[in-house]
Amino acid sequence: MSALLEPFQFTFMVRALIVSLAVGVVAPVMGAYVVSRGLALMGDALSHAVLPGIVVAVLLGLTPALGTIPVAIIMALLIGYLSRRTGFSEDTTIGILFVGLFALGLALLSISTSLPVRLDDILLGQVLGVNWSDVLVTICLSLVALTILYIFHKELVFVTFDPVGAKVAGIRTGIFDNLLLGVLALVIVVALQAVGIILVLAMLIVPAATARLLVRRFVPSMFTGAALGMITAVAGLYISFYLNLPSGPAMTLVAVALFVIAVAFRGRLFIRR
Partner 1 sequence: MNRPVRTPDIPSNSLDSSNPGPAVVVDDIAVELSGKTILEEVSFSAGPRALVGVLGPNGAGKSTLLNAIAGLLPLKTGKILVEGKPVTGARGQVAYVPQQERVNWRFPATTWDVVMMGRARKIGWHKRATQTDKDAVRLCLERVEMWNMHSSLVSELSGGQRQRVFVARALAQEANVLLLDEAFSGVDVASQEGLIAVLKGLRDGGRTILIATHDVGTLSARFDMAVCLNRHVCGWGPPEDVTPRLIEELYSSHSSLHKEKDGANERAA
Candidates 86, 216, 242, 270; binder of partner 1 (CB under 8 A) is: 216
Site for partner 1 in 69-88 (CB under 8 A): none
Site for partner 1 in 35-54 (CB under 8 A): 35-38
Any contact of residue 164 with partner 1 (CB under 8 A)? yes
Candidates 20, 142, 160, 210; binder of partner 1 (CB under 8 A) is: 160
Question: Minimal distance in Å, beta carbon 150 to partner 1?
Answer: 9
Any contact of residue 167 with partner 1 (CB under 8 A)? yes
Nearer to partner 1, 70 or 80 (CB): 80
Contact mark string toward partner 1, 219..238, x via CB under 8 A: --x-----------------
Query: Which of these ranges, 12-20, 111-119, 155-163, 259-267, lies near partner 1 under the rule CB under 8 A?
Result: 155-163
Query: Which of these ranges, 18-26, 45-53, 165-173, 253-261, lies near partner 1 under the rule CB under 8 A?
Result: 165-173
Concatenated DSSP letters for the chain? -HHHHGGGGSHHHHHHHHHHHHHHHHHHHHHHHHHHHT-HHHHHHHHHHTHHHHHHHHHTT--HHHHHHHHHHHHHHHHHHHHHHH---HHHHHHHHHHHHHHHHHHHHHH-TT-SS-HHHHHH--GGG--HHHHHHHHHHHHHHHHHHHHTHHHHHHHHH-HHHHHHTT--HHHHHHHHHHHHHHHHHHHHHHHHHHHHHHHHHHHHHHHHHH--SHHHHHHHHHHHHHHHHHHHHHHHHHHT--HHHHHHHHHHHHHHHHHHHHHHH----
Q: Cα(247)–Cα(268) distance, rounded to whole angstroms? A: 33
Any contact of residue 170 with partner 1 (CB under 8 A)? yes
Nearer to partner 1, 174 or 267 (CB): 174
Question: Minimal distance in Å, beta carbon 220 to partner 1?
Answer: 9
Any contact of residue 161 with partner 1 (CB under 8 A)? yes
Candidates 18, 42, 109, 158; binder of partner 1 (CB under 8 A) is: 158
Any contact of residue 271 with partner 1 (CB under 8 A)? no
Any contact of residue 26 with partner 1 (CB under 8 A)? no
> Which residues of this protein are in contact with partner 1, per CB under 8 A?
35-38, 151-152, 154-155, 157-158, 160-172, 212, 216-218, 221, 272
